[in-house]
Amino acid sequence: MTTPDRSALASYWETVRAEHPDLPVDVPEAWAFGATPAHADELLALVLAGVKTGTASSLWDYEEAEDPLPAEGELSIILDGDGAPRAVIETTSIRIVAFDEVDAEHAAAEGEGDRTLDYWRASHERYWRAHSENPRGFEPQMPVVCELFRLVHPAGRT
């Protein structure tokens, strides 16, 4: 996916802060959901519609990329498939559980497909088998970072 332009992020953040002056001055991390531009746009649309309030990531992928884990209260700028900033979310909860222990409530919060646990398991197994950043890929007992978030600033208001 396209890497976001730092000046575009700074400009976006300035616009968001004009509406939400209580937000910090420093521009938060920016990232997109999914592994492809089309997937990023599809998942972003669910966030903007209020359907998607959760996401899941492989702990192994965080370790492989040497990225810090998300934290409660952390803000993120969400990008579309072209790398443009479109929304701001705040992480409200983090749990790390084995893949086969992710529950139906979290699956529903992710807002994808029919929002069932069966759909979640099948789609996430496919995703991690195809797109994992670490050589282990997928295993039923792999640790999954289950993140819940709230939409702070939707697109269309900037």
Domains of the chain with bracketed CATH: 6-153 (3.10.400.10)
pLDDT by position in tens, the chain (length 158): 667 789 999 999 999 999 999 999 999 999 999 999 999 999 999 999 999 999 999 999 999 999 999 999 999 999 999 999 999 999 999 999 999 999 999 999 999 999 999 999 999 999 999 999 999 989 999 999 999 999 999 844 43
Q: For 157, phi and psi rounded to 5 degrees?
A: -105, 0
Cβ atoms 77, 30 nearer than 8 A: yes
- In this structure, the number of other CB atoms found within 10 A of the CB of residue 125 comes to 16
Cα separation values, 41 from 15, 46, 105, 120, 131, Å: 22, 9, 23, 18, 17
CA-nearest of 61, 58, 141 to 99 is 141
Please tell me the pTM assigned to this model: 0.92
